[in-house]
Amino acid sequence: MFYVHISILPTAPSVILRGRLSEASGQELAGRVMIRLSRSLKVKRVAIVFQPTSTGRSMLWKSHDILINRLKPETKELFSANGSEPGYAVWDETSVDGPHEFPFSFAVPGHLHESARTQYGNIDYELKVIVQSSGFGINNWTQTLPMPVYRLPKEGSSWEFARADSFRMHADWLDAVQLEVLSSSVSVVPDSKMLVRAVIRPLQKEQMLVDVGLRLYEKIKIKSALNRYGDPFETQKIICQSHERTEDPEGDLSVMPLRQESCFDLTLSIPKPFDDIQYDAETCDISIKHELVFTATVLDKNEEPHYLRISSPVAIVLQNTLGPLTLELPDYRNSSMDRLLLSNVDDKSESPPSYSPCILPQYNLSSPNELYTLAL
């Protein structure tokens, strides 16, 4: 059986652009192409193309065209016999001279949009090799290889330091309950576990805790595609979540009285990219962002429920390309901020906190069942 086997072997599995869209420099995409034949073949031309493979849906055609026009397919000629007689070269089967090998190199511009897959359409890139031959039957053989494009902060930039930092969310609700949420880093790696420690500190007596929860939201905005109201298309979905109901450890109540500071360790299972979660992206055409939201349901002394919510942005990033600052995410249990806040949380002999008056931010109550959003 006759076959033409084409292998595309890039030096890296993806293209990494450093810096924001307006400041990123181009990157080299290099590698080699190997062609194996089961018998001799009259070869006229071998070329490799780096091109976008984006797809759009009805509401994204305008934005899709803009993104496509940012990169015209770029072709590199690897072999051509057009200037020779009879217009082709005879290649022997692989077992005689070994595989035919050709190096290639592309200068990838820094203004490319990162790879993404959304409900409005996909943005992808690929390498494509074309082998053209002379004779009867099939005269074109092709092979493609996906080549995703990612964007990372410039080394030493404020953007890079911000992604390497840990974060702390803090909120005080009506001088009654104080919330503290800690995590190891604002950067999250797909296909991993995200650890979050939440502390609920009562500032008044007779408060009860019903449940706590943690959610990771993904927000996508297509800026160049407008809906019928003239606003950019936006979607928001829950990527993953964790929920825990509480109970009285000293009684039969289905809720936990807040007699002292309480700590909860929650874990989120971050899914794999690209089908379940996207990497963060921000360009003039599309915005992909993520938000971590902690919720708690508290009953006041009149047993009226109040739904507390605090949130903080997080970034979905590549672990193997973050560099030394964030290659190994810090353990949140070892942070000085965590030790200061939770030095006595695990001490079961800790005395209940005092409830001396203190000055805290005030929030106006319009309804006892109102949902309060306290965002960092």
DSSP state of 302: T
Largest CA distance in the chain: 97
- pTM metric for this prediction: 0.73
Cis geometry, peptide bond prior to residue 86 (ω within 30 degrees of 0): yes
From CA 220, how far away is CA 238, in angstroms rounded?
A: 12
86 Cβ neighbours under 8 A, 6+ residues apart: none
Could you report how far apart the first and last alpha carbons of the chain are, in Å? 65
Among 247, 165, 167, 152, which residue's Cα sits nearest to residue 208? 247
Q: By CB neighbour count within 10 A (0-12 exposed, 13-18 middle, 19+ buried), where does 124 fall? A: middle
pLDDT 10s digit of each residue in the chain, 376 long? 678 899 999 999 999 888 877 778 889 999 999 999 988 888 999 999 999 886 655 444 444 454 554 567 899 999 998 877 788 888 888 765 678 999 999 999 888 888 888 777 778 899 999 999 987 766 889 999 999 998 887 776 666 766 767 778 888 888 889 998 988 778 888 888 888 888 899 998 888 999 999 999 999 888 777 777 778 888 899 999 999 988 776 666 678 888 888 889 899 999 988 878 888 887 777 889 999 999 999 998 888 999 999 998 998 888 654 444 343 434 444 444 444 444 344 443 333 333 333 333 333 333 333 333 333 3
For 274, list phi and psi in degrees, rounded to 5: -100, -15
Q: Tell me the CB-side half-sphere exposure of residue 66, using CA atoms within 13 A.
A: 14
Angle ∠(187,321,108) on CA atoms, nearest 5:
120
248 Cβ neighbours under 8 A, 6+ residues apart: 254, 255, 256, 257
Among 134, 142, 3, 116, which residue's Cα sits nearest to residue 55? 116
Among 300, 114, 73, 131, which residue's Cα sits nearest to residue 209? 300
The amino acid that residue 18 corresponds to is R
SS3 67: helix
